[in-house]
């Protein structure tokens, strides 16, 4: 479903970038926690995971030109951030990269299964807005993970 190196990628400096949960400070007064990024162990450069960039971009554009001071969690907006937040909180961070990658894959699959169940339930109730919301959350995980596999 995903290409093998979900957990790490090469940095331009020759170092290895691995996944971390980052707190973004935007416009000096907006704090966005739980943003999954790749961070380089050598040069400390970081970049958002490719499959969260679109949601992160739309969050920042919603904030507008002169946003009020606030504290947001990206995990409330994006399923990848939510799944990764749970994994980091559960202490898997201490494991090896391949253990962690396995944990992420199975957690993402479990979240997809859960959302499919919720989707069926909301469809049974013919609750259109719930179906739509669940469909969007599913798409964050499924469409973007197949993009990632290219
Ligand atoms: Zn680097």
Higher pLDDT, 143 or 104: 104
For residue 50, the CA-to-ligand 1 centroid distance in Å is 17
**In the chain, pLDDT over 70 holds for what percent of residues?**
89
- CA 48 to ligand 1 center in whole angstroms: 14
The two tokens of residue 27 are 């416009």
Q: Nearest-5° angle of CA 44, CA 6, CA 16?
A: 30
Q: What distance in angstroms lies between residue 81's CA and the mean position of ligand 1's atoms?
A: 23
CA distance 36 to 7: 11
pLDDT tens-digit profile of 77-121? 999 999 999 988 877 556 677 888 888 889 999 999 999 999 999
- Which pLDDT score, from 0 to 100, does residue 2 have? 46
CA 88–ligand 1 middle distance (angstroms): 23
- 21 touches 35 (CB < 8 A): yes
Query: Mapping DSSP to helix (H, G, I), strand (E, B) and coil, where does residue 35 land?
Result: strand
pTM above 0.75, yes or no: yes
């Amino acid at each position: 479903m995903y290409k093998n190196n979900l957990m790490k990628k090469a940095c331009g400096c020759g170092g290895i970038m691995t996944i971390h949960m980052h707190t973004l400070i935007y416009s000096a007064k907006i704090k966005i926690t739980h943003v999954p990024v790749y961070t380089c162990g050598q040069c400390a450069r970081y970049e958002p995971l490719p499959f969260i960039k679109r949601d992160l971009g739309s969050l920042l554009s919603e904030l507008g030109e002169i946003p009020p001071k606030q504290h947001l969690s990206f995990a409330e907006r994006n399923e990848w951030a939510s799944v990764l937040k749970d994994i980091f909180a559960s202490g898997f961070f201490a494991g090896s990269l391949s253990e962690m990658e396995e944990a992420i894959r199975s957690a993402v699959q479990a979240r997809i299964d859960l959302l499919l169940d919720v989707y069926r339930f909301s469809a049974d109730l013919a609750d259109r807005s719930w179906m739509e919301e669940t469909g969007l959350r599913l798409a964050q995980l499924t469409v973007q993970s197949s993009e990632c596999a290219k």
